[in-house]
């Protein structure tokens, strides 16, 4: 029998899975238009682009300055502050925000009454669907030094009102706490799905052997979902330099720039508000390279520890 050629196999593959490929098209189009095509604009990081002369033509005709924009950033006072704030806030989120959905999923899994489990899931999911604009408005009202519920209680106990959102001491904890409140329910979905797929006979055998609930969690549940935790951890580490811009931008003010100004907000202020397009593109490229290095590092570390990596 004549062996089928490569071209025939490719054509046959696309015919057999035609509708599956059609389902992929929107996603491919999204990444092509909004992720790959704009990469041409990275070249302005090495030019002195003022925004004049149109889009692609203006970029092509802008004078070349080499690494000047990078040199300006690395020699500025803002470099250390932006890098330090980004790393510190990301580490706080990694320590406190990342385990929160895992703990919630473990707790929900132990609920035996289905109606109560659904109620808890619904209540914890709801904040995720609020925009950070709405959440910022709620926090401003709740933490207001005059009529905010928190400060009303502080004054009722004889204390002095605290300006939480303008305090360098309180701003970072507020970022972490508000993010946990907003995303803990939605983030627990993937872990609940993984827990659901665990063979229940393992729990039955453990109960027969006299294992407590905590022992079942430590020796069955957590090892079974370790792969999912590792993948989610890699993704979280990869986003360490992609701070939640919406959250910080809607909550911060010049009085807390020293402890809250991260790469995203610094790029926005310089690129959009100050029209320093080339300089902000250079800072953004630095941030992207650092994020890529973090993903590669975390993926290698995950594989060395025996877990499955992303690639």
311 alpha carbon, distance to own chain's centre: 19
Q: What is the pLDDT of residues 105-161, one digit of tens each?
A: 999 988 888 889 889 988 999 999 999 999 999 999 998 888 888 888 988 888 888
Burial of 227 (0-12, 13-18, 19+ CB in 10 A): middle
Domains and their CATH numbers in the chain: 1-35 (no CATH), 71-304 (1.10.3720.10)
Decide if pLDDT at 1 tops 60: no
pLDDT tier, 104 (very low <50, low <70, confident <90, very high otherwise): very high
Rounded average pLDDT over 205-224: 88
Main-chain dihedrals φ then ψ at residue 212, nearest 5 degrees: -80, 170
pLDDT value for 211: 86
Q: What is the pLDDT of residues 277-308, one digit of tens each?
A: 889 999 989 988 888 888 888 778 777 766 66
User: Taking a C-beta distance cutoff of 8 angstroms, is the pair 215, 287 a contact?
Assistant: no
Q: What is the pTM of this model?
A: 0.82
Burial of 30 (0-12, 13-18, 19+ CB in 10 A): exposed
User: Taking a C-beta distance cutoff of 8 angstroms, is the pair 191, 228 a contact?
Assistant: yes
Q: What is the pLDDT of residues 222-276, one digit of tens each?
A: 988 988 888 888 878 877 877 678 899 999 888 898 998 999 899 998 888 888 8
More confident residue, 241 or 177: 177
């Amino acid at each position: 029998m004549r062996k089928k050629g490569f071209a025939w196999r490719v054509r046959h593959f696309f015919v057999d899975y035609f509708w599956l490929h059609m389902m992929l098209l929107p996603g491919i189009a999204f990444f092509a238009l909004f992720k790959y095509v704009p990469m041409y604009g990275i070249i302005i990081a090495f030019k002195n682009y003022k925004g004049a002369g149109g889009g692609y033509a203006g970029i092509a005709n802008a004078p070349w300055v080499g690494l000047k924009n990078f040199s300006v950033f690395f020699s500025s006072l803002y470099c250390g502050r932006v890098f330090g704030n980004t790393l510190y806030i990301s580490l706080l989120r990694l320590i406190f925000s990342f385990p929160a959905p895992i703990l919630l999923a473990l707790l929900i899994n132990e609920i035996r009454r289905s109606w109560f489990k659904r109620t808890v899931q619904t209540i914890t999911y709801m904040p995720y669907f609020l925009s950070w604009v709405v959440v910022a408005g709620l926090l401003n009202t709740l933490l207001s030094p005059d009529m905010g519920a928190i400060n009303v209680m502080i004054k009722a106990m004889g204390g002095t009102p605290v300006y939480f959102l303008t305090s360098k001491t309180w701003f970072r904890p507020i970022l972490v706490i508000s993010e946990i409140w907003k995303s803990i329910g939605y983030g627990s979905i993937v872990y609940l799905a993984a827990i659901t797929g665990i063979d229940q006979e393992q729990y039955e055998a453990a109960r027969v052997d006299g294992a407590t609930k905590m022992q079942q969690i430590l020796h069955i549940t957590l090892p079974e979902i370790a792969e999912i935790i590792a993948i989610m951890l890699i993704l979280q580490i990869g986003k360490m330099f992609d701070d939640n811009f919406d959250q910080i931008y809607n909550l911060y003010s010049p009085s807390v720039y020293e402890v809250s100004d991260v790469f995203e907000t610094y790029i926005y202020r310089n690129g959009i508000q100050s029209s320093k397009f080339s300089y902000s593109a250079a800072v953004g490229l630095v941030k992207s390279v650092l994020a890529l290095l973090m993903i590669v590092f975390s993926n290698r570390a995950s594989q060395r520890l025996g877990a499955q990596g992303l690639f």
